[in-house]
Amino acid sequence: AAKDAGRGQYRIFEPMMLEASEARRRLLTDLKEALSEGQFSVFYQPIICSASGRVASYEALLRWQHPELGTISPETFIPLAEDAGLISEIGGWVMRTACEAAMHLDDDVIMAVNVSPLQFDDSLASRVVNALGATGLPPRRLQLEVTESVFMRGADRTAEELARLDAIGVSLALDDFGTGYSSLGYLQRAAFAKIKIDRSFVTKSGENCKESTAIVRAIVALADSLGMITTAEGIQTKAEADLLRALGCTQLQGYFFGKPAPLETYLAPLAEIAGHVRGNG
């Protein structure tokens, strides 16, 4: 789709094509081998502090390099991995890889890892503890991003699991906020440190949509009064960066500041990124 042109490099398999069960079966078979065949890698995208222009954290984003089909989008293969019962194992690998990567970064930089609702089984807390233990990353430097859909499997059980994770010392972020059921009650079901404002609101606010701008203002006010920080997702232009900063978002993330890329991309030029941000701010 035209609106996804920015990510064209891995749009070979559109989710729709998976309806062809042949293609889906094949991808599923290949997915089972992907971890042991070393076809996964983790890319990292910087998240910028609005006030200082410095990198506050990185989000870890999984990539699958298929030997014949090229790079396949997580939006395609994560649902497959969930259906196939592979998500906990894959997610555990991502967690460990991202924690290891974080050990190469400044020790005030946080590493954020996406966690699927289907990873919320008995092994999640122990996988988190194992990843921290194996890499030596302090728990306060790991953040777990979950979407509201995590509460769909039973809000009480989920709240218990989130409390267990909170007790380990990792922080929690509510991802893609505003796109799901957005029951405000979820905000008090766990100790969320952060709300991530979905890209759709950012884009529309940038197009002068009054309603989207009002929604962003309301989310920021809500987060502020609850003592949570906000990250605006999907910032693609300087105008959007300026706007979302002016609307009070604590942090900014998007292609304007940096695309998801291998860790090495961000190891040397940290100062350069910050300079770029300041130069534009």
Give contact residues for ligand C2E (rule: CB under 6 A).
6, 45, 61-62, 73-75, 78, 91, 94, 114-116, 145, 175-176, 234-236, 254-255, 260
Among 45, 50, 57, 114, binds Mg ion (CB under 5 A): 114
Q: Which of 96, 91, 94 is nearest to 123 (CA)?
A: 91
Contact code string over 60-99 relative to Mg ion, x by CB under 5 A: ----------------------------------------
Q: Which residue is nearest to Mg ion (CB)?
A: 145
Contact (Cβ atoms closer than 8 angstroms) between residue 191 and residue 172: yes
Confirm if 131 and 97 have CB atoms less than 8 A apart.
no
For ligand C2E, the closer of residues 116 and 205 by Cβ is 116
Closest Cα to residue 108, out of 135, 141, 131? 141
CA-to-CA distance for 52 and 7, rounded, in angstroms? 28
Query: Least distance to ligand C2E from the beta carbon of 263, Å?
Result: 14
Looking at residue 4, its amino acid is D
Contacted entry of Mg ion, ligand C2E, none for residue 62, CB cut-off 5 to 8 Å set by kind:
ligand C2E
Contact 58, 44 (CB under 8 A): yes
Residues 170 to 189 in contact with Mg ion, rule: CB under 5 A:
175-176
Q: Which is nearer to ligand C2E, 41 or 248 (CB)?
A: 41
Instruction: Of 69, 60, 68, give the one whose Cα is nearest residue 100.
Output: 60
**Cβ proximity of 232 and 73 under 8 Å:** no
CA atoms of 59 and 43, how far apart (whole Å): 8
Q: Within positions 223 to 252, which residues make up the interface with Mg ion, using CB under 5 A? A: 233
Closer by beta carbon to Mg ion, 161 or else 176: 176
The residue (of 26 and 41) whose beta carbon lies closer to Mg ion is 41
Specify the amino acid at residue 14: E
CB-wise, 34 or 144, nearer to Mg ion?
A: 144
Nearer to ligand C2E, 9 or 52 (CB): 9
Picking from 277, 257, 233, 264, the residue whose alpha carbon sits closest to that of residue 105 is 264
Answer for the pair 247, 241: CB distance below 8 angstroms, yes or no: no
Q: Tokens for 45?
A: 């995208």
Instruction: Quote the CA–CA distance of 271 and 216 in Å, as a whole number.
Output: 30
Instruction: Pick the binder of Mg ion from 30, 145, 148, 240 (CB under 5 A).
Output: 145
**Cβ closest to Mg ion, residue 30 vs residue 145:** 145
Per partner kind, with CB cut-offs from 5 to 8 A, the member of ligand C2E, Mg ion, none near residue 179 is: none
Report the alpha-carbon distance of residue 135 to residue 144 in Å, rounded: 17
Which of Mg ion, ligand C2E, none interacts with 34 (beta carbon under 5 to 8 A by kind)?
none
CB of 19 to ligand C2E, least distance (A): 19
Residues that bind Mg ion (CB under 5 A): 114, 145, 175-176, 233
